[in-house]
Structure 1
Amino acid sequence: MSQEVEARRQSRLPTFEWGLKVGIAGIYNDNVLRLSETDQDAFRRSSSTFRTPLETIDDGETEFSIAPAIQWRAPANLMAIGAYRFKTVQRLNNEFSSYQTHSFSATLRPRTKGYRWSAKLSVFAIPDFYLRVYRDRDFGTYHDTRFKNFEYSGEFSIRPLPQVWLAGQSGFGSIYYDKRFTEFDSEFYEIGGEVRYSAPWASTVSLRYTRRNSDNIGKSQQFLYYPSFESDVVLEDNEYGDADNTEDELRLVLKSPLRLAQELSLDASITTRIRRRVYSTMNSLESDPFHRGRLDNRWEVTPSLSFPVNSAIDIEVFYTHEERKSESDVEGVPRVKDFDRNEIGIGATYSLR
């Protein structure tokens, strides 16, 4: 009898439902271009050897996002969900480095309570991102460097236990630079897995591992100008040479409600990413000092707190620390590649259904 009641209830539900989230945030970023201490010092001294359009190393940012979603109660007792998110980041003093992102996902799962599998396809794009000023190796001149990034991925998840999800993921993508720096172009593919656990007390934890292989497809281009790379001087940052690499990434997310009073509860979360990138070039140290034997270790952590103002509006405060530490046989490489970046922000999200 209960199955008949559930069937009648579902037959009265709308075929399509939609939702919308709109967000705005104010952020302080202390290193918008992820500059090394060496480059920051050159900027502060107004050194003629450090070329940049930067007005300030740090900056204030306004982030706006809009995320519509639609779900379809499809035949065969399936649920299909389509979601899109647009984000734009506007910088106050360095407007040339503002950027936008687009993400789209399509998810299919059973339309039953306690469903045990789901499949998802995702697309992510950054149409235009400002990196920094690099030297054109053909002519020895300096130009702004921009790239575009596209990523495509698929994921299949199963739930072997009521509180445990296991997911497998694979994907590919590209990073293409502007016409002066096509030698930096790269394409990659990746594969990974994730474990997600939901505790009885409403906390959740997820751990994801990803292995990425990147091919520097522009590395074979010939060039005319060979910069000087003596190890006893501070090198000028660039990526000339063979940038083929493999990267291992571990991502941990912890979420838990915090009840402060009878009527006041916060949602706390902390996300951390550890990335280890190994450059695999067989070029000699003399011909490719920026990649031969180089190892990049990157770490990022973001704690946050959010709380509902009412049924439609949430407020979030967050902090992010990001750093890269490079190891190389060339002394100058870590001096221009290492960086630290911090940002702190507060945002509001309005949800409409």
Structure 2
Amino acid sequence: MAFMPVALLCSLTILSFSSLSSSLSWNYYYKSCPQVESIVAQVVHDATSRDKTVPAALLRMHFHDCFIRGCDGSVLLESKGGKKAEKDGPPNRSLHAFYVIESAKRAVEAVCPGIVSCADILAFAARDSVVLSGGPRWDVPKGRKDGRTSRAIETTQLPSPAFNISQLQKSFSLRGLSMEDLVALSGGHTLGFSHCSSYQNRIHNFNSTHDVDPTLRRSFASSLKNICPVKNKAKNAGTTMDPSSTTFDNTYYKLILQRKTLFSSDQALLTTPKTKSLVYKFATSKKAFHTAFAKSMIKMSSINGGQEVRKDCRFVN
């Protein structure tokens, strides 16, 4: 297995933090599978070279995994019979690139059978996706176990793009995440694409007084209405999260200040003094954003999860 090209690892912020979940450690695979991170990084690199949407997909997949039952790989499980799994819940139907995690799992199993969980592989892949997109590198805490339960109905617990700041704060605090974590992790919206369904609430029948959300810049709202002309009709239409949607930069925060972001939850970050000051901070300093994002990713990915190491990420043992 080839190693990650060294050039991709240069000039990156490398962060480690001393406080970890008691079940995780920095050197968990030091003896049992020392090659694991290089193997996963190469698989993600190869997939990204063929499809530039892979990094955004893997980062979003990791978020959605951790916010339901902790970071336990439950988002990777297949539905069985009449029991729908998380990946078939409404917020997750647009998730893709599961094949990358499956490929990485096969590559790891060939070298270290039965050692590395799918949840850890997904955590590595999310980090590698950020690095490949020009973002920070951080040490991933290791030793997660895979969960045995995955229920589509539980995806209603995921934060909605229509959430206001109170709803966002509650959702994050329930998972031990702070307001700073909320603003930093929202910066993941710098990558990827969104379908009309995630922001149409802002451009059609917004409320009894306004057809369009008045916090949207008028010219930007007009462009969105051209992309999504009729509510609930343009199901496959959408737009990139920001103009540099394959680069992990701080453009997202600049767009919030310009009133040109897609989601209500994005604009909500300007509605409290604490979150607003962080938006300004990250908009003016990519370094500050990258440092905060890496710290918050370590914190989020340390939420406890499952019970086993799956042989196949799609099915319980």
Bigger RCO (CA 8 Å, 6+ sep): 2
TM-score of the pair, normalised by structure 2: 0.22
* Larger-gyration structure (1/2): 1
Give the structure with the higher percent strand: 1
TM-score of the pair, normalised by structure 1: 0.21
